[in-house]
Amino acid sequence: MKIATYNVNGINGHLSVLLKWLEESAPDIVCLQELKAPQDNFPHEAISSAGYNAVWNGQKQWNGVAILAKGMEIQEVGRILPGDPEDMQSRYLEALVGGIVVACIYLPNGNPAPGPKLDYKMRWMERLSARAKVLLEHKVPVAIAGDFNAIPTELDVYKPEKYKEDALFCIEVREAFRSLVNQGWTDSIRSLYPDETIYTFWDYFRSAYSRNAGMRIDHFLLSPELAGRLQSGGVDKDVRGWEKTSDHAPVWIQIA
Residues belonging to the active site? 106, 147
Query: Phi and psi of 10, rounded to 5°?
Result: 110, 95
CB-CB contact of 35 with 64 (8 Å): yes
Residues 6+ positions from 116 with CB-CB distance below 8 Å: none
Across the chain, how many H-helices and E-strands are there?
A: 7, 14
- Residue 4's nearest CA partner among 64, 70, 50, 81 is 70
What is the H or E stretch that residue 16 is in?
A: helix 15-25
What is the H or E stretch that residue 171 is in?
A: helix 171-181
- Residue 154's nearest CA partner among 195, 103, 116 is 195
| 112 upstream amide cis, omega within 30 of 0 | yes
Q: What does the alpha-carbon distance between residue 214 and residue 216 come to, in Å, rounded to a whole number?
A: 7
CB-CB contact of 54 with 27 (8 Å): no
DSSP label at residue 129 = H
CA atoms in the 13 A half-sphere facing the CB of 72: 20
Q: What does the alpha-carbon distance between residue 64 and residue 84 come to, in Å, rounded to a whole number?
A: 18
